[in-house]
Amino acid sequence: MSVVLKPLLPGSTLGVLGGGQLGRMWVHTAQRMGYRTAVLDPDAQSPAGLVSHHHIHTDYLDAAGLQQLAAVCQAVTTEFENVPADALAQLAVTLPVSPAASAVAVAQDRAREKAHFVKCGVPVAPYVVMDTAEQLADLWADAANAAVIDNLLPGILKTSRMGYDGKGQLRVRTREELNAGWAKLGSVPCVLEKMLPLTSECSVIVARGRDGATVNLPVQRNLHRDGILAVTEVFEGNVPEALAHQAITAAKAVAQALNYVGVLCVEFFVLANGELVVNEIAPRPHNSGHYSQDACDVSQFELQVRTMADLPLTQPRLHSPAVMLNLLGDLWFANANAEQVEPAWHQVLALPGTHLHLYGKREARVGRKMGHLNITAATPQAARAVAQQAAVLLGLAPF
């Protein structure tokens, strides 16, 4: 049975849970398209709240705050995966919410997430779930189960919940390191994944409407440092064609099986043998999609607006090869005296095809995401060359 959409036209008010940089870029995009915006975030100085028509300054589960958001909005989304799924469920009683609480709940729990991938037939790294000390002891006590765990070592031990940007995970090589690592992570439910030989990482961002229509951005090739995305490169041929097709097909299957509405990022590992395995999902726009602001005719943030307002989804077109450099607070402390110094933006912006996006955060801190730099050019080689120049000027490692 087909779904008949009733679009929310410009002039309507759209809301977002979360006031960080993703919310800020979404607010700017929604406002450019003629929508009013509302942000619910507990931080009075949140980047998105400072530029929105409404800033509801409450906790995500505050009943009065959620009622206020529902009263001023015609639809709501979220800008980060760790917003309580219960808040989304409460809002969904009275207005459209995308993505749904059920989909966000899967992304918030690595064990459920991996079970979903398996259900979709999408390849994952071998893994085992460890919920309690008693369960772990039982696994070690059984020879067959102990052999399964031994086969996963060396591996990555990850907390099932609240892990992102490399947080909540440890590398473990032996039984002793696994036991010690699990205690270090607080003895909370965890997933142990086998460490596989990787050659690269990539991601796909899909947008799916309430009617099931699905479009995607091009496959993004990513480089991470210390668990945080550092560089994204997007151009035709950045990954082999067959691999790109497999990643896009898998990402759409994951979204469809969740009955997903909204923007979804699916991250993948490319193994040394050329095979693809899925790593995780993010139920929102993603760092690796920031290049789309300057290199595509439809950005990931416009796709987010379109899905929540039930507007038509058109297949985004990459009109320029692009490189995205993630800008962390470390750049403000790159001098030898460890004093905070503004990076050399004037030199960077003198380079052709550079597009600076800063997030309006009042304080730079080491490891904090402060902005990104998109570089576009007529050819991949030209975009990469300028990006390498920018990296030198900013004190970033070459890639």
Of 51-55, 188-192, 221-225, 301-305, the one with minimum mean pLDDT is: 188-192
- Taking the C-alpha atoms of residue 155 and residue 125, their distance in angstroms, rounded to an integer, is 10
φ, ψ dihedrals at 126, nearest 5°:
-55, 140
Domain boundaries, the chain: 13-97, 126-194, 198-394
Q: How many CB atoms lie within 10 A of CB 133?
A: 12
- Band (pLDDT 50/70/90 cuts) for residue 4 is confident
Per residue in 97-126, pLDDT (tens digit) is 999 999 999 999 999 999 999 999 999 999
The domain defined by 126-194 folds into: Dna Ligase; domain 1 (3.30.1490)
- Taking the C-alpha atoms of residue 261 and residue 240, their distance in angstroms, rounded to an integer, is 29
- Band (pLDDT 50/70/90 cuts) for residue 161 is confident
The domain over range 198-394 is classified in CATH as 3.30.470.20: yes
Helix (H) or strand (E) holding 388: helix 380-394
- Band (pLDDT 50/70/90 cuts) for residue 33 is very high
What pLDDT shows up at residue 1?
Answer: 46
- The residue that leads in pLDDT, 226 or 334, is 226
Residue 141 has pLDDT above 90, yes or no: no
191: amino acid identity, one letter: V
- Band (pLDDT 50/70/90 cuts) for residue 10 is very high
Percent of the chain with pLDDT over 70: 98
Tokens of 11: 């002039």
State whether residue 128 is helix, strand or coil.
strand
What CATH number should be reported for the domain whose range is 13-97? 3.40.50.20
**Of 261, 252, 255, 216, whose CA–CA distance to 99 is shortest?**
261
